[in-house]
């Protein structure tokens, strides 16, 4: 169960980006971090026979996110992956699925993007339109998971879609936590430097606390940052 200091840490995290006197030096550190993750990720790929066909630029997944996924899949016995939002991470998961016993399900709402990405991966990218739904007292545009045949339990959920919002971003993932999250699990939230994502992460932690779950939280800082929540036998992933 999370301590209050964990939530405080998350909420204190974003303002660092906006302290004018430190902005340039902070940005330099984050870009240096990204170069470190790129080196570790690229050097590791040959060991797992994954082709380096990645372009983590602009709004695409950063090397820090790809690094986390690579370690999780290759070091933990994860079996069922639900990816919210298709992109560079889909390429990585697809490559790893040829070597590991991994069931990958990708949800994406943009049909044009699906058509482009589906040509590059073997697993199915499911078209899941967006719908308005009220969750935990807040109405938001979320994936319509009722159109998706989800497995009984999922041990790895990657939250990187749909498009981020300023408030309670990607709020629809809350629909998955209470009943689908396995006892041993990893949750990754990309773009965790943004206030909207942090609001959603805080709500997820409340759900896990209410369920009496034991877990740890890790923050990875780069040009895009991630919050990783890991529980059960996978708790070590919070320290990757």
Is the separation of the CB atoms in 90 and 117 below 8 Å?
A: yes
Three-state SS at 82: strand
pLDDT tens-digit map of 38-93: 999 999 999 999 999 999 888 889 999 999 999 999 999 999 999 999 999 999 99
Q: What tens digit of pLDDT does each residue of 158-185 get?
A: 999 998 899 999 999 999 999 899 999 9
> Has this prediction a pTM greater than 0.85?
yes
DSSP per-residue codes, 66-107: HHHHHHHHHHS---EEEEES-SHHHHHHHHHHTTS--EEEEE
d(CA 162, CA 172): 9
**pLDDT in the model for residue 15:** 43
**pLDDT of the residue at 3:** 46
> What's the CATH code of the domain at 214?
3.40.50.150
In the chain, the N- to C-terminal Cα span, in Å, equals 19
Question: Which stretches of 76-141 are DSSP H helices?
Answer: 88-97, 111-118
Q: CA triplet 169, 148, 185: central angle to 5 degrees? A: 60
Number of domains in the chain: 1
pLDDT at 50: 96
Confidence grade of residue 17 (pLDDT, cut at 50, 70, 90): very low
Q: What pLDDT was estimated at residue 9?
A: 55
Q: Please report which helix (H) or strand (E) contains residue 226, including its range.
A: strand 226-231
| C-beta separation of 216 from 239 below 8 A | yes
Asked if the model's pLDDT at residue 210 lies above 60, the reply is yes
Q: How confident is the model at residue 230 (pLDDT cuts 50, 70, 90)?
A: very high
Output the pLDDT for position 183.
Answer: 95
Share of the chain above pLDDT 70, in %: 90
Nearby residues of 4 by Cβ (< 8 Å), 6 or more positions away = none
Residue 97 CA to its chain's centroid (Å): 18
Mean pLDDT of the chain: 90
User: How far, in Å, CA of 205 to CA of 158, rounded?
Assistant: 15
pLDDT at 4: 46
By three-state DSSP, how is residue 59 classified? coil
**DSSP designation for 224:** S
12 is in which domain, residue-wise? 4-239
Paired sense of beta strands 103-108 and 80-84, if any: parallel
């Amino acid at each position: 169960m999370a301590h209050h200091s964990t939530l405080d840490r998350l909420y204190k995290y974003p303002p660092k980006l906006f302290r004018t006197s430190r902005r340039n030096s902070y940005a330099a550190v984050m870009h240096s971090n990204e170069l470190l993750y790129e080196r570790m990720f690229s050097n590791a790929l040959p060991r797992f026979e994954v082709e380096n066909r990645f372009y983590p630029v602009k709004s695409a997944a950063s090397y820090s996110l790809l690094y986390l996924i690579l370690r999780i899949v290759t070091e933990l016995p994860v079996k069922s992956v639900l990816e919210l939002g298709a992109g560079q991470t889909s390429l990585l998961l697809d490559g790893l699925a040829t070597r590991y016993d991994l069931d990958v399900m990708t949800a994406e709402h943009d049909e044009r993007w699906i058509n482009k990405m589906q040509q590059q991966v073997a697993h199915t990218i499911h078209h899941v339109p967006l719908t308005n739904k009220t969750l935990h007292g807040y109405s938001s545009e979320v994936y319509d998971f009722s159109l998706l045949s989800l497995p009984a339990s999922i041990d790895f959920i990657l939250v990187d879609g749909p498009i981020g919002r300023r408030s309670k971003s990607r709020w629809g993932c809350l629909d998955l936590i209470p009943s689908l999250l396995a006892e041993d699990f990893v949750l990754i939230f990309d773009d965790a430097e943004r206030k909207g994502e942090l609001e959603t992460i805080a709500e997820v932690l409340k759900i896990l606390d209410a369920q009496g779950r034991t877990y740890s939280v890790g923050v990875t800082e780069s040009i895009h940052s991630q919050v990783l929540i890991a529980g059960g036998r996978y708790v070590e992933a919070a320290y990757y």
